Each structure stands twice: as C-alpha cells, then as structure tokens.
C-alpha cells in the first residue's frame, strides 16, 4: 500500500513539473524571469 502511495506522489510530481514546463514555455520573457526569481527564492528558504 505504501508503495502505491509513493508511485502516486511521484506521478503527481512529474505531472506538476510537466505542467509548469508547458506554462513556462508559453510565457513571455519578463514573466519567465519572474518565475525564475520565484523558484530561486523558494529554493533559498
């Protein structure tokens, strides 16, 4: 059962990254820079 939960979490993470990647590509340059700042700031916390 724990294995199944782990797989679901992994799939959710992959889907999340894929969605962010798609959104990221469609954004104009300034928005991409803003997203970069958000990602780096979140990583620094």
Contact 13, 5 (CB under 8 A): no
Query: Looking at residue 7, what is its pLDDT?
Result: 92
| Domain residue ranges in the chain | 1-41
pLDDT in tens, 3-45: 898 899 899 988 888 878 777 777 778 877 787 787 777 655 4
> 3-state SS of 1-45?
CHHHHHHHHHHHHHHHHHHHHHHHHHCCHHHHHHHHHHHHHHHHC
Is-above-0.75 flag for pTM? no
């Amino acid at each position: 059962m724990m294995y199944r939960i782990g797989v679901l979490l992994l799939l959710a993470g992959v889907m999340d990254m894929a969605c962010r990647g798609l959104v990221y590509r469609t954004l104009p340059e300034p928005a991409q820079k803003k997203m970069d700042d958000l990602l780096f700031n979140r990583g620094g916390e």
